[in-house]
Amino acid sequence: MEKRPHMGANMERPCRSSKPLAGDRHDRQCEAMNKPQHIIALPHYSGAGHTAQLARAIASGADEAGARAVPINVEDMTADAWTTLDSANAILFGAPTYMGSVAARYGAFLEEAGERWMDLGWKDKLAGGFTVATFPSGDKLSTLQRFSIFAAQMGMIWVGPTDIGAPVFPEREGVNADGGWLGLMATSARSPRGAVRGGDLETASRFGGRVAEVVQRFHTSNR
C-alpha cells in the first residue's frame, strides 16, 4: 500500500477550512494554507502574563498567514525547545521591560542561547522582538535594542513592525499606539488588571502576519 507523505515543516498544505469563508478572506486563507509552512519560534518570559498574551496574539497572526508559530516559555526550556529554536526559520524574542531593561530571567536565556554564537548556529534566521511595560514609553526601546544587538551578533536578519496607526490614520485607533518600529511595543491595560490593551493585541497579530510573510518571501527567493 502506498504510504501517505508526511507533512513536514515546508510541505504545501491543501486548502481546507472547517468554516466557510466568503470572498477575499477565503482566498487569503487558501493562499496562506497552500504556501510552504515555516516555523516561527517565540521564546518569551512573562512575569505577570502580559508577554504571554502578546506571544499568543503574534502566533495567531503568524498562523493565519500560513506559518507555524511555536510559543516557548524560557522558564521551561527542554531539549525539544532548543531543537525547535535551532530549526526555526525565524525567532521572535519577547520579554517585559523592568526598570528600563529586559527582565533578568530573559537575559539569562539570551546568554545561554549565545553559546551558539561561535559556530553561527542561528546565522541568517529572521529575528524580531516584542516587549511590554506599565507606561507607553516605559523605556521599552532599551529592551528591543538588547534583542536586536543580540540578533546582530548571532548573524540574524532583523524584521520590525510596519503598522502606522492614529493620529496619522484616525481609523486605526489603537494600532501601534506606542509608535514602535524597531519591534513590537505594548502597554499593560489599566482595567482589567493583568490585561494588555486591545489595540496592542491587534498590532501583535499584525506583526505575526508580517513576519510570516517575510519568512515566506525570504525562503522563496533563496531556493
- Residue range 178-187, pLDDT digits in tens: 999 999 999 9
The model's pLDDT over 150-205, given as tens digits with 9 standing for 90+, comes to: 999 999 999 999 999 999 999 999 999 999 999 999 999 877 777 899 999 999 99
Instruction: List the grid coordinates of 174.
Output: 489603537
Is residue 22 in a domain? no
Is residue 57 in a domain? yes
Is residue 42 in a domain? yes
In this prediction, residues 48-72 reach a mean pLDDT of 96
Answer whether residue 36 shows pLDDT above 60.
Answer: yes
Is residue 3 in a domain? no
Dist. CA 61–CA 32, nearest whole Å:
11
pLDDT at 13: 42
Is residue 79 in a domain? yes
Selection from 90, 117, 91 nearest residue 218 by Cα: 90
CATH code, domain carrying 177: 3.40.50.360
pLDDT at 17: 39
In sequence order, the β-bridge partners of residue 200 are: none
The model's pLDDT over 72-127, given as tens digits with 9 standing for 90+, comes to: 999 999 999 999 999 999 999 999 999 999 999 999 999 999 999 999 999 999 99
Range of the domain at 130: 27-221
Dist. CA 54–CA 51, nearest whole Å:
5
Instruction: Tell me how far CA of residue 199 lies from CA of 165, 173, 185, 195, in angstroms.
Output: 10, 7, 11, 12
- Per the listing, cell 546565522 goes with 123
Number of domains in the chain: 1
Is residue 129 in a domain? yes
- Identify the three-state secondary structure at position 187: strand
Dist. CA 131–CA 107, nearest whole Å:
13
In sequence order, the β-bridge partners of residue 68 are: 39
pLDDT at 10: 45
Answer whether residue 1 shows pLDDT above 50.
Answer: no
